[in-house]
Homo-oligomer: A and B are copies of this chain.
Amino acid sequence: MSWSDKEPMISVRNVHKSFGDFEVLKGVSFDVMKGEVICIIGPSGSGKSTLIRCINALNDINEGSILVEGQEVNDPKLNKLELRKKVGMVFQQYNLFPHKTALENVMMAPIRVLKEDKKEVEARARALIKKVRLEGKENAYPGELSGGQQQRVAIARSLAMKPDVMLFDEVTAALDPETVGEVLITIKELAEEGMTCILVTHEMGFAREVADQVYFTDKGLIVEHGAPETFFENAKDPRTKQFLSQIL
């Protein structure tokens, strides 16, 4: 394969996506280099979730191209399973498997999908659970965990697949400020370890602290982007300005 570290890890080029007559994405382009952390912010309904679902091939696209490590995601011949081994995703609603304990949730995919050795996976899974600071909750079922704890199990579950890229979709939207803090610390640590991350978030404070690039979407387009310092202080686009001014 011709892809090298020098090229973008993820390259989104002029992506269009419609649901029926309704065009959600109207030509979105951006690149993410290996180890970069980008945040996507924007009003509700602007297509943020749709965009990152396309990167993971959960939605297909109508036009344009998405390359992950040089591989076209929208290629019908693409082996989606291979793609998903490379790209991990954490959902806003966690989507843990409720019939499995925290540890089993984390271990299941590596064992069943990657066919890895059970012992090895278990060691890794326990390490991951420790990493997301959930020691002692290994045998708890999702129903017995608080929202923030579930969210962290979901992160560990994705990490167990050793992905190259992690996608986070508004992982903190439904949590109270304290729990938000816990989850964000976990993500920050990942970013510091050099994981390539794409985050959709409403937490401006977090975007400011951790992102290499901030993208602002509105009505299916990227309206403005930049490094957090310049983005938050000197937004040029009127729409962005208006949005940021609303934040108290």
A157-200 vs B, Cβ < 8 Å mask (1 yes, 0 no): 00000000000000001101111110010000000000000000
Q: Check A248–B206 contact: CB distance below 8 A.
A: yes
Give the interface SS of chain A, mostly helix, strand, loop or mixed: helix
Give the Cβ gap from A183 to chain B, nearest Cβ, in Å. 11
**A246 and B44 contact, CB distance less than 8 A:** no
Among B146, B184, B248, contact of A44 (Cβ-Cβ < 8 Å): B146
**Chain B positions within 8 Å of A202 at CB level:** 176-177
User: Is there an interface contact between B174 and A246, defined as CB atoms closer than 8 Å?
Assistant: no
Whether A75 sits at the interface, judged by CB under 8 Å, is no
Residues of B within 8 A of A146 (CB): 44
Whether A203 sits at the interface, judged by CB under 8 Å, is: yes
Interface pair B209/A177, CB less than 8 Å apart: no
Q: Which residue of B lies closest to A181 (CB)?
A: B246
Integer count of this chain's copies in the complex: 2
Inter-chain contact B205/A248, CB cutoff 8 Å = yes
Q: Is A1 an interface residue (CB 8 A)?
A: no
A209-B44 Cα distance, complex, nearest whole Å: 25
CA distance A246 to B44 in the complex (A): 25
Most buried by B among A44, A184, A206, A243: A44
How far, in angstroms, from A176 to B177 measured CA to CA in the complex? 15
Cα A243 to Cα B44 in complex, Å, equals 27
Contacting pair A203 B243 (CB below 8 A): no
**Would you mind naming 20 contact pairs between A and B with Cβ atoms under 8 Å apart?**
A43-B176, A43-B178, A44-B146, A44-B147, A44-B176, A44-B178, A44-B179, A174-B174, A177-B204, A177-B243, A177-B246, A177-B247, A178-B243, A180-B246, A181-B246, A184-B248, A203-B248, A205-B247, A205-B248, A206-B248
User: A-side interface residues toward B, CB under 8 Å?
Assistant: 43-44, 146-147, 173-174, 176-181, 184, 202-206, 209, 243, 246-248
